[in-house]
Every structure is written in structure tokens, then in C-alpha cells.
Amino acid sequence: MEAQGAWGAEVPRSGMTKRDLRAVALIVVLWTAMQLPFVSSAYRVDEPNIIRIAERAAAAPADPYGFYLNWNGIEEEAFHILANPPLVPYWLAVWGTTLSWSESVLHLSMLPFSIIAIVAFAALAAEYAVRPALAAILLIASPGFFLGSQVVMPDVAMLGFFLAALACAVRYMRTGSAWLIWAGFAAGALTPLAKYNGALLGPLLALLWLVGRGRRTGLFVIASGPVVGLGLWSLGSLMIYGRAHVQAIAEFESGGTVVILSAILGYFAFGALPLVLAPSSAPRPLTPHILNAVTILLAALMGVCMYAVFPVGPWASAGFGLSAGITFRFMLIIAAVGWQCIDARDVMSGLLIVWIVLVFWFQFGLLFSSVRYLLPIVPPVVILVLKHALVRVEAGWFRPALVASLALTLSVAIGDARAANLYRQFVVDRVIPAKEKIAGRFLFDGHWGFQYYMEREGARCLNFFSQPKLRDGDVIFIARTPFPSYQHLPSTRALSVETEEIARSPEWPVRTIDCSAFANFYGPGVRECKGPVLPFGFSMKARDEFAILSVRLREESGAP
């Protein structure tokens, strides 16, 4: 007997065939081959945060946040500013202590999470009678997933467990297999322990529990997974630190403005998905002509406004215009499909709409915004578009567009890796040879991967609220882009500061953090940019500037 929802909607009888399993297995093999060239890339952006927690977890497993970190220009307690739960750091600690803390080992350790996400998404798509292999390829074609899989940040790990829990729940509704209950419960419990936005899984599982007649006991167990996982960690952190970590991070994130606009716009229009998910049809009451007219009109209007108001170039303005048009197009489609789901009492498609809305809702009010924060939107969008036949996969343009999407995503990944490598290479080329010759203190300013590699060489990060009194022989290395607190240090009557400026370029046109390209894949802005940014852009200018500040005693100061 089929499980029925509260409105009488049937859960579709589907699942992966042997042919589907072989296709997904081949995709996993190809995915692994695509990821291997990136495992040796330098640490980037927030990776050092996760690694510091992992190093602490390896040294003191019962106290993973018991250290101080200068990440915003001052020394702060890691417990209050590092916003991720400890699952991924503990995983990295096992690899680091067992093998090594090298980039290759830690990046390779994250590969299983992306494989879990691919397989789980294929299984979930099959439950919706959507071709599993096609759904998996479209997930891979997303820049958010592709880049998120190459770093030790927890977004893809969270997504993998998120998808696994949902796939188990939906399949359990159809089959009633008991093992799915405990597999779904385990995956659900791990989801918010990987990243706190994984708590959004709870309402989705609760919705399935409400509509899952005949399966409610098992679905209740699965739905309790996120609550149990988050509850146990909150209790543990309360006992160790006197406060629940999730509470401390909620206070840290509070007070933020709505900085999600650039991430939303760029995600749908400047990413790879629109190239292959451009609707061939439209849900009622929309028509393709209405969608096309709205897209073109809004794209042109937004592009002109951006060019007139902000100091951005024509290409970036056109990108914003395209983003606005396609984003609004998708919003209309989602709203129309949602109305159809209500009218047809289609509970399972309604679950996808709720999923998308929850992810959007969670972002508003956060202190930061990023494309990777919106990664959980990809699976429901892909399934919704394919399930409702809003794109003709048999059309002649689809396969070339899919290849173009993968090529674009790959080029973004290459650009991101090369940009990260700039900081590591600068330390190797300029810092290490100069380190032994420094007569005074060895200082630096600038975060992201630059901070990791400088601290590894023994340099001390400058503290904004405890400004150093310069001494003869001090040398300070500054990376201009990774939000340093000090752009320039003034000379004094007795000391002069000699500054050497060095520009570095990754020699790759696709940029993920670059003001000249008006791009930041990992945040809502770039330090020197005076306008909004998109997740990635195009430029051949220097990617970053470094400064080497050498402090010298003035001859007229009376020194011998």
C-alpha cells in the first residue's frame, strides 16, 4: 500500500534501477578524477578557521574551542567567533594526526562528503521519478558545489548528510524498510553538527512526518535526528564552556544587515545552472513570452542602473542586469509551481518549495552572505525543474549547454585555486628567504590563507587594539585584499618605514575574489570596491598587492 499525504497525494513509486546505479557510479569515478588535481591547492578564505579548530581538537579533544584567534584584527575567543560546529574539525583531526596536516591530505579527506552528496541526491531524485544521473551532473555543474568540495569548509559535508536524511525519509515513506529509519536518523543527527544551517532539515522532516500516514512512527524517529544531534552538542558545549555554542554564534550573527542580494543574484544568473535550466516551458499562469519579456526588461533596467549608480564597468553592469532578470524569472517560476502544488495537493513538490523558501529565509539577518551559504538551494531547484518538465533535456541545445556549464564551473575552480596559491607562493618566494635576515620582530597583517602560511612560519599577526611600537629592524608583511587592519604604518621622528609594494596575478581571467572583476565568491564585497560584487567575474589585472614594510632607525636620531 502506498503511503499517502494529508491531502491524499501519493508518494511516487520509483527508485534507482541497475542502469541508474551504474551511471551514478561512473559519475562518482569521474568526479573523483576531476577533484584530484585540486587537492594540493593552498588553503583559502575561511579554511584556516576550520583547521585551527581541528588542530585544537587533536591536542585537546574535550576542548575544541579553547583558544584565542586574531581573525578580525584583535585577539578573540574562538568559541565566540568561529561559527561552525565541530564535526568536520574532528574529522580533519583524525586525518591530520594519522597522516599529516598537509593541504593534499586534508583536502582529500573531504572527498567522501561530496560523494555522499552526489549519491544521496541521485537517490532522492529517483524517488521523485527524475533521472538520477542527470540530477547528479547538474549538482556537479554548480560552482557552489564544485568549489565547496575542494575546501575543508563544512558546507558540502552538511549538504551530503542533509540529502542522505531526506532520501532515507522519502524512500522509507514508499518502502517501509526499517534500516532506512536508522540511516536517516544518523544522517539527520550529523547534519547540524556539520554546519548550523543544516538545522533547516528539521522542518522538512517534520513536514514528511505530518503527511506520512502509515509511516509516522519511523518518520518521527528520522525527524528527531537533527534535534538529537544539535541538542547533544549544545548540552556538551554548555557543560564545557558554560554556554551553548549555537547560542553564542546566534548572538555573533545578530545585528547583520540583509547582505544576501549579491549572492542570490549571482547564484542563479552568473553560475552554471541557468545555462542548462533555462525553462523551455512555463507553469500556469505564466507563459514563455511573459517570462522572456520580464527577464529582458528587468535585466536591461538593472544593468543601466548599476552602470549609472556604481563605479562598475560595463561587463559587471551587464552581469548584474542578467543576474536580476534571471533571478526574478526563477522567483516567478517557483511561485507559480508552488501555487500549482497547492491547487493539485502535491505534497512532495510542495516539500521542494518549502525547502527553497527555508534556505532563503535563513540567510536574511545573517552578518555575512556567500554563494556557498545558498548551496542547499541547488537540489530542490534541479528536481523541481526536471520533475515539472520546465526544461527540455531532449532538445539539441541541452547537451552543449551542459558541457559549457561544466567548463565554466571548472574555469571558476581553477581561478579560485590559483588565487589561493598566490598567498602561499608569496610566503615561499619572499617571506621565507627574508625571515632569517630579520633583525627585529617578524610581523604580518592580512587574513585568509595568508594568515595560515605566515603563522606557520612563526610570524605574529598585528593587533588593531594593541598597536605595536615600532622598533629598528621590524619587518611587516601585509596582504592588501584579505581585510587587513593596517594598510599603512606611519613613520616617527626616530624611525622610518620603507615600503616595497608587490603585485601578483594568477594569470587566469576568471576571478572569485577580485575588485577589478567586481567579484567575491565568499562574501558580499571586496575591501576596495565601492559597489556590489558578483560571485565571480573576469579580469587580467593583478589579483592582489603585498607590502613589505621595513622599519629603520633614522640617521639624524643620534644613533651611532
More reliable by pLDDT, 234 or 284: 234
Most confident of 228-232, 262-266, 435-439: 228-232
pLDDT given for residue 7 in this prediction: 35
Per residue in 521-547, pLDDT (tens digit) is: 887 777 667 666 788 888 888 778 898
Residue 404 lies in a domain: no
pLDDT given for residue 397 in this prediction: 85
Residue 454 lies in a domain: yes
pLDDT given for residue 558 in this prediction: 47
Rg (CA), the chain: 25
Residue 303 above 90 pLDDT? no
Q: What's the whole-number mean pLDDT along residues 349-367? A: 83
pLDDT given for residue 490 in this prediction: 67
Across 96-100, 105-109, 299-303, 326-330, least confident range: 326-330
Angle between helices 201-211 and 347-363 (to 10 degrees): 160
- Domain finish residue from 254, 279, 296: 254
Most confident of 128-142, 264-278, 336-350, 510-524: 128-142
Query: Within this chain, do residues 135 and 202 fall inside the same structural domain, yes or no?
Result: yes
pLDDT given for residue 168 in this prediction: 96
Within 8 A by CB and 6+ apart from 211, the residues are 4, 5, 6, 7, 9, 347
More reliable by pLDDT, 486 or 34: 34
- Domain finish residue from 392, 426, 461: 392
| Short-list 560, 387, 455, CA closest to 12 | 387
Q: How confident is residue 252, by pLDDT bands cut at 50, 70 and 90?
A: low
| Short-list 2, 36, 44, CA closest to 452 | 44
Residue 554 above 80 pLDDT? no
In angstroms, the Cα distances linking 504 to 498, 539, 546 are 20, 13, 8
Across 52-66, 431-445, 462-476, least confident range: 462-476
Cell numbers for 248: 553564542
Query: Within this chain, do residues 381 and 422 fall inside the same structural domain, yes or no?
Result: no
Contact 321, 304 (CB under 8 A): yes
pLDDT given for residue 270 in this prediction: 67
Query: Within this chain, do residues 144 and 9 fall inside the same structural domain, yes or no?
Result: yes
Residue 497 lies in a domain: yes
DSSP element (H, E) containing 157? helix 155-175
Per residue in 394-440, pLDDT (tens digit) is: 888 888 888 988 999 999 999 999 999 999 999 999 999 988 888 88
- Per the prediction, the chain carries an average pLDDT of 85
- Domain finish residue from 392, 426, 457: 392
In angstroms, the Cα distances linking 316 to 107, 172, 304, 310, 402 are 32, 47, 11, 10, 24
pLDDT given for residue 492 in this prediction: 67
Query: Within this chain, do residues 264 and 243 fall inside the same structural domain, yes or no?
Result: no
Q: How confident is residue 1, by pLDDT bands cut at 50, 70 and 90?
A: very low
Query: Within this chain, do residues 266 and 354 fall inside the same structural domain, yes or no?
Result: yes
Contact 390, 333 (CB under 8 A): yes
Residue 397 lies in a domain: no
Residue 41 lies in a domain: yes
Cell numbers for 433: 628567504
Contact 277, 268 (CB under 8 A): no
Residue 202 above 50 pLDDT? yes
Q: What's the whole-number mean pLDDT along residues 59-71? A: 90
Q: How confident is residue 328, by pLDDT bands cut at 50, 70 and 90?
A: confident
pLDDT given for residue 9 in this prediction: 41
pLDDT given for residue 170 in this prediction: 94
Query: Within this chain, do residues 377 and 281 fall inside the same structural domain, yes or no?
Result: yes
Query: Within this chain, do residues 246 and 266 fall inside the same structural domain, yes or no?
Result: no
Query: Within this chain, do residues 47 and 107 fall inside the same structural domain, yes or no?
Result: yes
Query: Within this chain, do residues 148 and 120 fall inside the same structural domain, yes or no?
Result: yes
Q: How confident is residue 367, by pLDDT bands cut at 50, 70 and 90?
A: low
pLDDT given for residue 2 in this prediction: 39
- What counts of helices (H) and strands (E) characterise the chain? 22, 11
Query: Within this chain, do residues 142 and 247 fall inside the same structural domain, yes or no?
Result: yes
CA separation for the pair 521, 513 (Å, rounded): 6
CA separation for the pair 106, 205 (Å, rounded): 32
Cell numbers for 271: 553560475
| Beta strands 442-445 and 460-461, pairing class | parallel
Within 8 A by CB and 6+ apart from 219, the residues are 169, 172, 173, 205, 208, 209, 212
H helix runs in 176-287, sequence order: 178-194, 201-211, 216-241, 245-253, 261-269, 273-277
Q: What's the whole-number mean pLDDT along residues 451-466? A: 87
Using alpha carbons only, give the angle 51, 56, 58 rounded to the nearest 5 degrees. 95
pLDDT given for residue 385 in this prediction: 87
Query: Within this chain, do residues 264 and 335 fall inside the same structural domain, yes or no?
Result: yes
Residue 151 lies in a domain: yes
| Beta strands 513-514 and 75-77, pairing class | unpaired
pLDDT given for residue 84 in this prediction: 87
Q: How confident is residue 183, by pLDDT bands cut at 50, 70 and 90?
A: very high
User: 198-221 in b/e burial notation, b at 16+ Cβ within 10 A?
Assistant: bbbbbebbebbbebbeebeebbbb
pLDDT given for residue 4 in this prediction: 40
CA separation for the pair 497, 474 (Å, rounded): 9
Residue 111 lies in a domain: yes
Structurally, the chain folds into a number of domains equal to 3
pLDDT given for residue 256 in this prediction: 47
| Beta strands 442-445 and 475-479, pairing class | parallel
| Beta strands 519-520 and 495-504, pairing class | unpaired
Per residue in 5-44, pLDDT (tens digit) is: 333 344 455 678 889 999 999 999 999 999 999 999 999 9
Domain housing 336: 258-392
Residue 149 above 90 pLDDT? yes
Per residue in 79-138, pLDDT (tens digit) is: 888 878 999 999 999 999 999 999 999 999 999 999 999 999 999 999 999 999 999 999
Q: Which SS3 state, helix, strand or coil, does residue 559 take?
A: coil
Query: Within this chain, do residues 182 and 320 fall inside the same structural domain, yes or no?
Result: no
CA separation for the pair 506, 455 (Å, rounded): 23
Residue 48 lies in a domain: yes
Residue 559 above 80 pLDDT? no
For the purposes of burial, counting CB atoms within 10 Å of the CB of 531, is it exposed (0-12), middle (13-18) or buried (19 or more)? middle
Residues of the chain with pLDDT > 90, as a percent, come to 41
| Short-list 79, 83, 112, CA closest to 95 | 112
Residue 51 above 90 pLDDT? yes
More reliable by pLDDT, 250 or 287: 287
Residue 493 above 80 pLDDT? no
Q: What's the whole-number mean pLDDT along residues 218-229? A: 94
pLDDT given for residue 191 in this prediction: 96
